Amino acid sequence: MSVEVFTVPSGIEAMSFVGGGISGALHARERSMDYLGVLLIAVATGVGGGAIRDVLLNTEPVFLQSKYTLLGLSYGFIIMAVLGGLAGYFLARLVKQLTTIIFVVDTLLIGAWVVIGVEKATFAGLGAFTAIFIGTTTAVGGGLIRDVLCREIPSALMPGKWVALSALVASMVFVSVFYPIKYFSSTGQATAVAMVATIITASLLRGLSFRYDWRTPAAVDMSNQFRTWIGMKKAATTSSSP
């Protein structure tokens, strides 16, 4: 099964790995890790989503293969994540001053990660629903691994700003746009249009969720409403006195 198809520009891929490395390094610094811990978390965050994707697709993780290059560098995926980690470790104060820029880049990268994951799953011959799952997992996988290594509940799975939800909707947009256009046009054109639509969707959803403080809800218990809906009476809660 061949899955060696990448149409996402190398510059966008490089930004995604560097951005992941910076995010992981800053996260590790805030928990007072040493330089090895910071670099480990940085690399895990940068390449984690792609690693999970390739394991799910039953392929050797791309970042471990020297035949794949990024910006002309063998093992460029790891190198870019390490560069991001070094920036987060040695230039933490400067990086934190660029919070707005980092947020914008990180928001754009959600869509890029989704494209990389969904595209690879699609060209591997998987169905639409599986491709959506792979795309969403690729986008949030690095953060999941980062939080697990830091012994925290993954933030992407907690109530909060739209990160995983943006990735999920963007994955659905890619599939919804790709297949109809592919039917009437070429695969390359379908991929290009789907990629643009996906990145725009993910960026808009993530940006609007921060602008208007939209938050995903926590789990609720609707047992009583369900009983009422199906006509069940509540069980008596008091007992008769002797």
Q: What was the pLDDT predicted at 131?
A: 93
DSSP state of 203: H
Q: What was the pLDDT predicted at 66?
A: 65
Q: What is the pTM of this model?
A: 0.81
Average pLDDT per 10 consecutive residues for the chain, totaling 242 residues: 50 80 90 92 91 88 71 77 91 80 80 88 89 94 92 85 91 93 84 90 92 84 82 52 50
Angle at 119 between CA 118 and CA 121, to 5 degrees: 65
| Phi, psi angles (nearest 5°) of residue 70 | -130, 120
Question: In terms of DSSP H, where are the helices of the chain?
Answer: 10-29, 35-56, 76-90, 92-97, 99-123, 128-149, 164-184, 187-211, 223-229
